[in-house]
Amino acid sequence: MPDLKQLEERLGHQFGRPELLSEALTHRSVLHESSPKQSPLPKPTLDNQRLEFFGDAVLQLALTEVVFEHFPEADEGELTKMRARFANRHMLCRLGGALSLGDYLRLGKGEESSGGRSRPSNLADAFEAVVGAIYLDGGFAAARRFVLAQLHPELDQLNAGPDEDNPKGRLQEMIQEHCGKNPVYRIASQTGPDHAKHFEAVVELEGRELGRGAGRNKKEAEMQAAEAALANYSAGKATE
Kindly give the interhelix angle for 49-70 and 140-155, rounded to the nearest 10 degrees.
Answer: 60
**Topology of the domain covering 166-238:** Double Stranded RNA Binding Domain (3.30.160)
Catalytic residue among 47, 52, 111, 128: 128
92 alpha carbon, distance to own chain's centre: 4
Q: Which CATH number fits domain 4-160: 1.10.10.10, 1.10.1520.10, 1.10.1740.110, 1.10.530.10?
A: 1.10.1520.10
Asked if residue 129 lies in contact with residue 143, where contact means CB atoms within 8 angstroms, the answer is no
Q: What is the pLDDT of residues 190-228, one digit of tens each?
A: 988 887 789 999 999 988 999 999 988 998 899 899 989
Q: List, for residues 114-131, the tens digit of each pLDDT value.
A: 888 988 889 999 999 999
Mean pLDDT of 34-44: 50
Mark whether 56 is an active-site residue.
yes
Pairing of strands 198-205, 208-215: antiparallel
What's the mean pLDDT when you consider all of the chain?
84
CA atoms within 13 A on the CB side of 76: 0
Q: Which residues face 187 on adjacent strands?
A: 201
Domain boundaries defined on the chain: 4-160, 166-238
Please tell me which residue in 23, 52, 56, 137 is annotated as part of the active site.
Answer: 56
Q: By C-alpha distance, which of 100, 88, 18, 21 is closest to 59?
A: 88
Strand order across the 184-191 sheet: 184-191, 198-205, 208-215
Answer yes or no: 128 catalytic: yes
